[in-house]
Structure 1
Amino acid sequence: MSSASKLQQDLDCEIARLEQALIVLKRRRNALSPVSQLPSELLSKIFYLSLRFIQADRRSRTKILPEDTRLSISHVAHHWRTVALESPELWSEIHVRDTTKVEYLALARNNSKMQPLYVEGYNINLTGAAGVRYVLQTEPHRINGVTLHAPIEVMRSLLPYLKRCCEAIEFLYLELPRRVQTPLDSTDHDIFFNIPKLRNLGICYWDTLLIPTSFQPSSLVKLELYFTRSPSAQVTRSAFAALRAIASTLKNLFLSFLSRSSSPDFWNNFDRSPIDMPSLEVAFLVARTPGVLPELVSLIRPPSSFSEVYIAGEGSAATPDEYHAIVSALQRTYSSIYSPNFLRVRRPVQAAADSNAIEVIADLKPTHKNIQTNSTTNSIRTVIIPSSNSSLPISSPGSHPLPIPFPNSSDWLFGSQRVIVLEVDLPVAFWRAFSRIPTLSTIYYCAKRAEDGFLQALEEIVANEGPFKGDETYFPSLHTVYPIFSEEDIAWDIEYARSLAILLGKAWAKSSASGSSLTLLQFVGCSSESLDKETVCILRSVVRGVLAWNDQEWNCREPSEGDAIDIAPEDTT
């Protein structure tokens, strides 16, 4: 070896030694950074959460690759890589895309140690299905959960491999594309299978998947079934037979029928007797199919301890005949177990600005929270969304415009209301009904016109008109009225206030509930800045507590202990 070669070799060795020393120095320097001072357990948790809350930056979910994030984390620093590789829970969620390589899947399997595995295949074709199939084949006893979003041919190819994992799966969510699907033959059924340990099941838009009678998981707590077409009678029968089989354990139920038409035998030839669900907490019942919602409401029997029932009809399922049927089903199903105290009628938050949709919320107990926010507890939500070329007869006095029953017996579902919040202009027929509720104490409502339903109902009472029979008692417990002028630059706000006070006084004078008066009468959103003395005197004649006009207040008298107000307004928006 020449002296030059020997010198070159010595220099290479020195360079390698210095590079290794530099790496050690950089690691020591990095170890002094604040993030490196975090305990490894906390750093591992941060890594795990970074996979669950990836910043999308307006990208579609298909282009968000959690596995790339995981690999990036492990290449930032030596400490990070060590923590990542020693955190099996970081690798136990395997996200498969069409571009995912088998080598990465093998790495994830190995690094996850013996942790239960969750597999997600999102928007995959047959190429991505190969990756999912690889994990299901190699780890059938570790597959704890599976979520698949794929066309039906991909789902069908994976169904046998899912069946091999059925002894371990506790979470399963299968979703076909909702809008872009190959036309399916409704008589061509795909057969599901039993999954003994299953706790959560979602089957979305797979309208030909038939649940066999052997499907009886003993601890299923959540079931989601979404049909985009009208399923065949056989699929319908199997779905409701399965629902009966797991009714005793189910806590969350989501049923959705999105077809605008149904087959003639849709509800035929299966048991339509009520399904008692003693553990049910939340039920979402949604339909566009005519006739489905009333049947669902009649079938599903929750306990009195339920948290929320959400009922939504859209398009064909939002016709006047449809919500008349929903009203009857609500009365039959809930009147014996449920007496809501709080009622809210509004436009749905998620509806378009020009939508004619109506949402009715009946809640067991009124609070500040559910008046001023969307929060509810022990509630029934009914949403009616008419088709784009129609509207609900919300201003028609001769029809039943909302999906809540009128009082017709002593066990009326809404006969114990204490608080109502009305954000839409209801016709006089409903105000007639409200006037006869013996417990109604507080009314929040939007005054949208000079002669609204409230004033019309009071005028009928004063004139001895309207369908009032028996004990003539009107608003016997009313002590808080909170009109909100929702229109800008109105010229009739003072006139409205005077009319309201005069008619309330005359109505109470005719009522057997003599001596009634308000402890709070507050007007909000008024265009007129102040009230004249005469109007103040008229208003004070029906108030024995606080009278308020925007920011002006008059204490008509000091309320006594018996005048305690249950709900004082805090926010008028």
Structure 2
Amino acid sequence: MSAPKLQQDLDCKIARLEQDLIVLKRRRNALSPISQLPSELLRKIFYLSLHFLQADRNSRTKILPEDTRLSISHVDHHWRTAVLESPELWSEIHVRNTTKVEYLAIARNNSKMQPLYVDGYDINLTGAGGVRHILQTEPHRIKSVTLHAPIEVMRSLLPDLKVSCEAIEFLELNGSAVQAHVDLTQHDTFFNFPKLRHLRVTFWDTLLIPSSFHPPSLVRLEIYFHRSSANHITRSTFAALRTVASTLEILGLRFQSSASSQDILNSIGRLPIHMPRLDMASFLSNSPGILPELLSLFHVPPSFRSVSLIAQGSAANANEFQAITSALQRSYASIYSPNVLIVRQGPPPITPSSDAIEVLIKHRAGVTLKHCISAFLIPSRGRQPIFSSDDDHALPISFPSSKGWLFGTLRDVNVEADLPVAFWRAFAYIPTLSTIKYRVTRPDDGFHRALEEIVVGEGPLEGDEEVFPSLTAVCPTFRGTSIEWDEDYARGLAVLLGRAWARSGVSSPPLALLEFRGCSSNRLDDGTVRSFRSVVRGVAVWNDQRWDFRETSQ
């Protein structure tokens, strides 16, 4: 036999053995635990792996979901088959500046006829070419488009978006917060999307939404102005908003600009906007006067769930919040009465700030949360804190009163901020207040000092009014590294509460619960326990130590 013939036979035998080896490896891999998973579960794991890529704390710019998808498909034959037979894993097409058209063709083909979700994040004009390729080749399959790019890049894609406008249901257009100079006297004209359900436009301050914009199924609308948009842009936006108001369930508006509040208010208009289906709303402004006006402008239904207000910079001041609470009372007093108040310090949901304050006013029916209004006050750096323990400091929210809408029906109060003494003292005369939870950071905190003034009859609210007539639970939590004074504080608190009630003619201990958490030790002396017994007819708790004063013994 000649050498070439022998070599050819050996090559054939090697090929057969290599093929047998591949088959054996596949059989061996099939015995591994992960290969025993049902294909549906394996595909679900792959799907989730593409949605939680930020677990390693990488920025979104550095995340390349298409690389992860290709890596999964190259692990072994079983995984590759699962990936290629799962069109839903390819229907979300992530375009970056480095994405090649060849990959986009693979994703389109493997997605079969699934609706496509296109995401272009932090793209320049090169990345816009990839997005344009998808929009032009698959205009009838595009269900969702998300673009994060400078205005000039998104502007170049407007004609291509228009080609796909008949199919798009979700659209997010996010301009960069740091932009090159943009001529705000110019504008980019938007157009209608007949099937659009969600629209979010952020930092595209030259995008003019015409009054003809009227998607009949639009349920979510978020528009965030970053710069001082031209008046005709704001005016046109609110004209379009009035057109779609009847279908909206979620609304978000942000005015983070240097324009005067009067210019913005003139552009918004004064005609009320009725929103019969609105469930959630969020408003942000750094210009005084905007938030109260928005609250008065939008008429929400009794079924609304939450409203979030964020006053930032110059809008985060006492006068602005007084105007906000007045607007809330005018607009919401006929809808619900708050029975829960929460006051706590930041950080807020957007800009971290240790001086930020959040005020929540809620209505609960049993364990069910019916309505919630939250207000964030975020002062500029270097400004005086919004709350201060000094009595002469301007209060950022309305003064507690049993006659006002905000406080008149309060049942629970949870305070994690340093409220002024006068504020605490006023709580004593809310007739419905039953539970107080608060944070203690120093022995002479506002609540303790307020009780001292009530006992001696000081302050503007002195008289024969009953003190804390419905209070049944007091729950302080100590915060700090050096709180050796906590037992003295607890004993003094019990004594002051007893004297305050004695001054009101209360003969029997009214508290069902006196609970201290965050204490420095777990043991109390007998004198402190006796002071608890004088005001508690139920349970006293010190960290994990518990006394039931409904019984005759400890």
Scaled by the length of structure 1, what TM-score is found? 0.88
Q: Measure how far apart 1:530 and its partner are.
A: 5.4
In the other structure, the counterpart of 1:570 is: none
In the other structure, the counterpart of 1:424 is: 417
8 A Cα contact 1:91 1:108, kept in partner:
yes
In the other structure, the counterpart of 1:521 is: 514
8 A Cα contact 2:401 2:426, kept in partner:
no
User: Kindly tell me: are residues 487 and 123 of structure 1, through their superposed partners in 2, closer, same or farther at Cα, counting changes over 3 Å?
Assistant: closer
Q: Measure how far apart 1:546 and its partner are.
A: 2.7
1:481 is matched with which residue: 455, 458, 474? 474
**What is the identity, as a one-letter code, of the residue corresponding to 1:475?**
F
User: Kindly tell me: are residues 230 and 263 of structure 1, through their superposed partners in 2, closer, same or farther at Cα, counting changes over 3 Å?
Assistant: farther
8 A Cα contact 1:175 1:205, kept in partner:
yes
User: Kindly tell me: are residues 515 and 230 of structure 1, through their superposed partners in 2, closer, same or farther at Cα, counting changes over 3 Å?
Assistant: farther
Q: Measure how far apart 1:263 and its partner are.
A: 6.5
8 A Cα contact 1:476 1:516, kept in partner:
no
In the other structure, the counterpart of 2:312 is: 314
In the other structure, the counterpart of 1:87 is: 86
2:289 is matched with which residue: 288, 291, 303? 291
Q: Aligned pair 1:505/2:498, yes or no?
A: yes
8 A Cα contact 1:474 1:513, kept in partner:
no
8 A Cα contact 1:478 1:516, kept in partner:
no
8 A Cα contact 1:407 1:433, kept in partner:
yes
Q: In the TM superposition, what whole-angstrom CA distance separates every residue of 1:71-110 from its partner, at most 9, and x where no partner exists?
A: 2222222232222222211111111111111111112111
User: Kindly tell me: are residues 356 and 49 of structure 1, through their superposed partners in 2, closer, same or farther at Cα, counting changes over 3 Å?
Assistant: closer
User: Kindly tell me: are residues 176 and 553 of structure 1, through their superposed partners in 2, closer, same or farther at Cα, counting changes over 3 Å?
Assistant: same
- Percentage of identical aligned residues: 62
Q: Measure how far apart 1:450 and its partner are.
A: 3.8
Q: Measure how far apart 1:193 and its partner are.
A: 0.9
Extract structure 1 runs of 4+ deviating beyond 6 A. Answer: 351-354
Q: Aligned pair 1:18/2:11, yes or no?
A: no
Provide the rounded CA distance (Å) in 2 between the counterparts of 1:314 and 1:442.
Answer: 31
Provide the rounded CA distance (Å) in 1 between the counterparts of 2:273 and 2:205.
Answer: 22
8 A Cα contact 1:233 1:267, kept in partner:
no
Q: In the TM superposition, what whole-angstrom CA distance separates every residue of 1:216-251 from its partner, at most 9, and x where no partner exists?
A: 111112222112112221121222222222222222
Gaps of 5+ in 2: none
Gaps of 5+ in 1: 371-375, 560-573
Provide the rounded CA distance (Å) in 2 between the counterparts of 1:353 and 1:133.
Answer: 37
8 A Cα contact 1:472 1:512, kept in partner:
no
8 A Cα contact 2:35 2:78, kept in partner:
yes
Q: Aligned pair 1:139/2:134, yes or no?
A: no
Provide the rounded CA distance (Å) in 2 between the counterparts of 1:72 and 1:439.
Answer: 62
In the other structure, the counterpart of 1:243 is: 241
Tell me which moved more, 92-101 or 287-296: 287-296
Q: Aligned pair 1:396/2:390, yes or no?
A: yes
1:217 is matched with which residue: 193, 197, 215? 215
Q: Measure how far apart 1:303 and its partner are.
A: 2.7
1:555 is matched with which residue: 533, 548, 552? 548
Q: In the TM superposition, what whole-angstrom CA distance separates every residue of 1:183-218 from its partner, at most 9, and x where no partner exists?
A: 212211111111111111111110111111111111
User: Kindly tell me: are residues 119 and 45 of structure 1, through their superposed partners in 2, closer, same or farther at Cα, counting changes over 3 Å?
Assistant: same
Calculate the aligned-residue CA RMSD, in Å. 2.8
Provide the rounded CA distance (Å) in 1 between the counterparts of 2:19 and 2:496.
Answer: 92
User: Kindly tell me: are residues 450 and 263 of structure 1, through their superposed partners in 2, closer, same or farther at Cα, counting changes over 3 Å?
Assistant: closer
Q: Aligned pair 1:32/2:26, yes or no?
A: no
Provide the rounded CA distance (Å) in 1 between the counterparts of 2:44 and 2:543.
Answer: 51
Q: In the TM superposition, what whole-angstrom CA distance separates every residue of 1:390-409 from its partner, at most 9, and x where no partner exists?
A: 12242232344233x33567
User: Kindly tell me: are residues 493 and 412 of structure 1, through their superposed partners in 2, closer, same or farther at Cα, counting changes over 3 Å?
Assistant: same
**What is the identity, as a one-letter code, of the residue corresponding to 2:439?**
C
Q: In the TM superposition, what whole-angstrom CA distance separates every residue of 1:106-132 from its partner, at most 9, and x where no partner exists?
A: 121112111111111111111111111
User: Kindly tell me: are residues 55 and 487 of structure 1, through their superposed partners in 2, closer, same or farther at Cα, counting changes over 3 Å?
Assistant: closer
8 A Cα contact 1:334 1:413, kept in partner:
no
8 A Cα contact 2:317 2:396, kept in partner:
no
User: Kindly tell me: are residues 547 and 67 of structure 1, through their superposed partners in 2, closer, same or farther at Cα, counting changes over 3 Å?
Assistant: closer
Q: Measure how far apart 1:533 and its partner are.
A: 4.6
Q: Aligned pair 1:44/2:37, yes or no?
A: no
Provide the rounded CA distance (Å) in 2 between the counterparts of 1:346 and 1:337.
Answer: 25
In the other structure, the counterpart of 1:254 is: 252
Q: Measure how far apart 1:528 and its partner are.
A: 7.3
Residues matched between the structures, number? 550
**What is the identity, as a one-letter code, of the residue corresponding to 2:379?**
P
Alignment of 1:170-569 (within 5 A): 170-179=169-178, 181-262=179-260, 264-350=262-348, 355-365=354-364, 378-390=371-383, 391-403=385-397, 405-407=398-400, 410=403, 412-468=405-461, 472-490=465-483, 492-511=485-504, 517-527=510-520, 533-558=526-551
User: Kindly tell me: are residues 320 and 32 of structure 1, through their superposed partners in 2, closer, same or farther at Cα, counting changes over 3 Å?
Assistant: same
In the other structure, the counterpart of 1:126 is: 125
User: Kindly tell me: are residues 520 and 38 of structure 1, through their superposed partners in 2, closer, same or farther at Cα, counting changes over 3 Å?
Assistant: closer
User: Kindly tell me: are residues 125 and 64 of structure 1, through their superposed partners in 2, closer, same or farther at Cα, counting changes over 3 Å?
Assistant: same
Q: Measure how far apart 1:552 and its partner are.
A: 4.5
Q: Measure how far apart 1:490 and its partner are.
A: 4.3
Q: Measure how far apart 1:346 and its partner are.
A: 1.2
In the other structure, the counterpart of 1:373 is: none
Tell me which moved more, 359-368 or 80-89: 359-368
User: Kindly tell me: are residues 221 and 482 of structure 1, through their superposed partners in 2, closer, same or farther at Cα, counting changes over 3 Å?
Assistant: same
Q: In the TM superposition, what whole-angstrom CA distance separates every residue of 1:46-90 from its partner, at most 9, and x where no partner exists?
A: 222222222564433223211122222222222322222222111
Q: Secondary structure at the match of 2:144?
A: strand
User: Kindly tell me: are residues 458 and 126 of structure 1, through their superposed partners in 2, closer, same or farther at Cα, counting changes over 3 Å?
Assistant: same
Q: In the TM superposition, what whole-angstrom CA distance separates every residue of 1:399-443 from its partner, at most 9, and x where no partner exists?
A: 44233x335674512211111111122112222331121111111
Q: Secondary structure at the match of 1:521?
A: strand
Q: Secondary structure at the match of 2:53?
A: coil
User: Kindly tell me: are residues 488 and 332 of structure 1, through their superposed partners in 2, closer, same or farther at Cα, counting changes over 3 Å?
Assistant: same
Q: Secondary structure at the match of 1:378?
A: strand
Provide the rounded CA distance (Å) in 1 between the counterparts of 2:489 and 2:56.
Answer: 51
Q: In the TM superposition, what whole-angstrom CA distance separates every residue of 1:490-537 from its partner, at most 9, and x where no partner exists?
A: 465455444433433333234377756212223344457755555544
8 A Cα contact 1:427 1:452, kept in partner:
no
**What is the identity, as a one-letter code, of the residue corresponding to 2:172?**
Y
